[in-house]
Homo-oligomer: A and B are copies of this chain.
Amino acid sequence: MKIDIVENVLQYNKDEADKNRKIFKKNNILVFNLLSSPGAGKTSLIIKTIEKIGKRKKIGVIEGDISSTHDSKKIKKYINDIVQINTGGTCHLNASMVAKAIGKLKLEELDIIFIENVGNLICPVGFDLGEDFKIVISSVTEGDDKPVKYPPIFIKSNLVVLNKIDMLAVSDFKSIFFYKKVKELNRSAKIIKLSCMNGKGLNEWIDWIIDKC
């Protein structure tokens, strides 16, 4: 009985995600679902991306938080096409929340939407939002063991971004261990290492994004 309920919830979410996907496709918008721990650098990466390609590509953002508009305000300095979702305590976005947010964006004008999920390395992974790509952002300062301790998000993501590589010199992060563990979970995932602080690696990230457009 309990399993039935869970299945219904996930099936309902899947149906809503498929509706979102159709809307994105119809408007020719590429959608990235950004997943990470709190503070790994989702907002910073969005801002750096807008700075780099915001004139070439029209970018919209759907910003997920349990409460506050803290990150939205930061991004709002760069673009107008941003919608805040406050989940009111729920630990992940779902497709219905995103469906409501879509209605507030000028879809016909957009090329790309970044969905910044709630900062959480566990719960968001089970909920399809209708995105084209799931991207997990892990950061050097969180430690090299995140793939070992939180496998599902690394298994399900199309791209692994390793942020804060400017901190490699002052941490005990072992890149070889991290890469090995990611590859054990997800042989096809590409890994891009970068620093939103000093800009290293951002061009490879931008190339990856542009290549998908």
A residues contacting B by CB (< 8 A) are 37-39, 65-68, 70-71, 89, 91, 118-123, 139, 141-143, 145-146, 148-152, 164, 166-167, 170
B119, A66: Cβ atoms under 8 Å?
no
A68, B167: Cβ atoms under 8 Å?
no
> What CA separation (Å) do A71 and B66 show in the bound complex?
28
A90 to B, closest residue via Cβ = B122
Residues of B near A119 (CB, < 8 A) are 37, 121, 149-150
B38, A68: Cβ atoms under 8 Å?
no
A167, B142: Cβ atoms under 8 Å?
no
Q: Which of B37, B123, B141 contacts A91 (CB 8 A)?
A: B123
Q: A67-B151, A89-B152, A149-B71 are in contact. Are A38 and B142 (CB under 8 A)?
A: yes
A38-B149, A39-B143, A118-B122 known, 9 other contacts, Cβ within 8 Å = A65-B149, A66-B122, A66-B152, A67-B149, A91-B123, A119-B150, A123-B123, A166-B170, A167-B170
- What 9 A-B pairs come out closest when comparing CB atoms? A39-B142, A141-B141, A91-B122, A37-B38, A39-B143, A37-B37, A70-B148, A38-B121, A91-B123
> What CA separation (Å) do A66 and B146 show in the bound complex?
12
> What CA separation (Å) do A143 and B122 show in the bound complex?
20
B141, A39: Cβ atoms under 8 Å?
yes
A91, B66: Cβ atoms under 8 Å?
no
B150, A38: Cβ atoms under 8 Å?
yes
17 CB < 8 A contacts A-B: A37-B37, A38-B146, A38-B149, A39-B143, A66-B122, A66-B151, A66-B152, A67-B151, A68-B151, A70-B145, A89-B122, A89-B152, A91-B123, A120-B122, A120-B123, A167-B170, A170-B170
